[in-house]
Amino acid sequence: MIAIPRQKPVFRFAPSPNGPLHLGHALSAFLNRDMADASGGRFLLRIEDIDLARCTPEFEAGIYTDLEWLGIDWEKPPRRQSEHFAEYQAALSKLIDRGLAYPSFLTRGEVKARVAAFERESGPWPRDPDGSPLYPVDDRDRSEGERREMIASGIKHAWRLDMAKALSQVDTPLSWTETGDGDRGEIVAEPSAWGDVVLSRSDAPSSYHLSVVIDDALQDVTHVVRGLDLFHATAVHRLLQTLMHLPAPVYHHHRLVADSAGRKLSKSDGDTGLAELRKRGLSVADIRHLIGL
Ligand code: GLU
């Protein structure tokens, strides 16, 4: 009999170097490392730096310093998304060729003005699970000629998924296996709640949603352990995975760490930054205690 080798579980911690790591990142990193160790799995670090305007080498260096201090080691070298734009572009091209993505031309300011005008007249504009207004659909109906002309004339554009068309090409409902701190079990994915999501931005040749699913597949990630703030985004990830025939990892969305006032932590909130806490003399055991581990 031929023994089929069982794939080792693969975990990843995927911070963006757009600010200092805080206690919430420490929880994510420890959980990933601990779950990898407990299952005899691998632990990868991925630097999610597609936002070239906000990500800096200093913040990236801070990630390495903080993880080393916490005693968390990772397989070297880490994958840096900014070195793989061509891969995301190739995946996007395939979606464009299949008629599943279209160029969108409205700026953030234009969308905001449109939504405000609508809401003054007619009541609430639909919003995504994060509370951001859904992108207006006008660009979806432009002719090929018009699109080409607008792009040729140099108008900045992003590429968006045609959500309705994408959903018509997959068996619904989509779902994912969830083992985290919120709802568990087989979760029904509702990607339509996000509208026509961005696949590549006018200022970055990819988007979070596109690059995260490509990388999880390319890196053979079997378990995605991340904060509950990304729970609903998983619906978009499942849709993209299904469209691109990529495997679905198991998802574990963990509780978020709140500050003393009960607010979600943010990178601009210096008080809970790991480097700051280290400077104030806290030990790694103190950090584990603070995040309830
Ligand atoms: N880069 C994302 C963040 O820093 C995490 C993405 C993920 O784990 O899927 O919030």
Is residue 283 a contact partner of residue 210, using CB atoms and an 8 Å limit? no
pLDDT digits over 176-190, tens only? 999 999 999 999 999
Assess whether the C-beta atom of 230 lies below 6 angstroms from ligand 1: yes
Q: Whose CA is nearest to atom 7 of ligand 1?
A: 14
Nearest Cα residue to 175 out of 165, 187, 160, 161: 187
The residues, ordered by sequence, that sit 6+ positions from 221 with a Cβ below 8 Å of its Cβ are 10, 11, 12, 44, 215, 249
Instruction: State the number of CA atoms in the 13 A half-sphere of 187 facing the CB.
Output: 23
Q: How many other β-carbons are positioned within 10 Å of the β-carbon of residue 141?
A: 8
CB 106 within 8 A of CB 135: yes
Answer yes or no: is the C-beta of 15 below 6 A from any ligand 1 atom: yes
Q: How many CA atoms lie within 13 A of 226 on its CB side?
A: 21
> Helix, strand, or coil here: 226?
strand
**Residue 28 beta carbon below 6 angstroms from any ligand 1 atom:** no
pLDDT of residue 259: 77
pLDDT > 70 fraction of the chain, expressed in percent and rounded: 96
Ligand 1 pocket residue status of 48, Cβ below 6 Å: yes
Secondary structure class of 262 (helix, strand, coil): coil
Give the Å distance between the CA of 145 and the centre of ligand 1: 37
User: 15 CA distance to ligand 1 centroid (A)?
Assistant: 5
**Is the Cβ–Cβ distance between 105 and 136 less than 8 Å?**
no
- Residue 270: pLDDT band by 50, 70, 90 thresholds? low
Tens digit of pLDDT for each residue in 94-123? 999 999 999 999 998 999 999 999 999 999
Please, what's the b/e burial string for 225-251 (b: 16 or more CB within 10 A of its CB; e: otherwise)? bbbeeebbbbbbbbbbbbbbebebbeb
Nearest-CA residue for atom 6 of ligand 1: 14
Extract the tokens encoding 100. Answer: 């599943």
Q: Which atom of ligand 1 is nearest to the CA of 212?
A: 9
In whole angstroms, what is the distance from residue 146 CA to residue 155 CA?
12
Q: Is the alpha carbon torsion for 207, 220, 191, 263 positive or negative?
A: negative
To test the pocket of ligand 1, the residue of 43, 45, 230 to mutate (highest count of ligand atoms within 8 Å of its CB) is: 230
Q: What is the pLDDT of residues 27-65, one digit of tens each?
A: 999 999 999 999 999 999 999 999 999 999 999 999 999
Q: Ligand 1 centre and the CA of 117: distance in Å?
A: 33
* C-alpha distances out from residue 293 to 120, 224, 256, Å: 48, 19, 13
Which pTM value belongs to this model? 0.94
Q: Is a pLDDT exceeding 90 seen at residue 137? A: no
- With a cut of 80, say whether residue 267 has pLDDT above it: no
Pick the residue whose CA is nearest to atom 3 on ligand 1.
15
Q: Decide if 229 contacts 25 (C-beta within 8 A).
A: no
Distance 122 CA to ligand 1 centre (A): 36
Task: Give 185 Cα–ligand 1 centroid separation in angstroms.
Answer: 22
Mutate to test the pocket of ligand 1, among 31, 208, 225 (most ligand atoms within 8 A of CB): 208
> What is the pLDDT confidence band of residue 255, given thresholds at 50, 70 and 90?
very high
Residue 226 beta carbon below 6 angstroms from any ligand 1 atom: yes
Q: What is the mean pLDDT of residues 7-15?
A: 96
Please tell me the distance from the alpha carbon of residue 284 to that of residue 33, in angstroms, as a whole number: 15
CB 248 within 8 A of CB 282: no
Q: Is the CB of 16 under 6 A from ligand 1?
A: yes
Which residue carries 């352990």 as its tokens? 225
- Closest atom of ligand 1 to 229 CA is 10
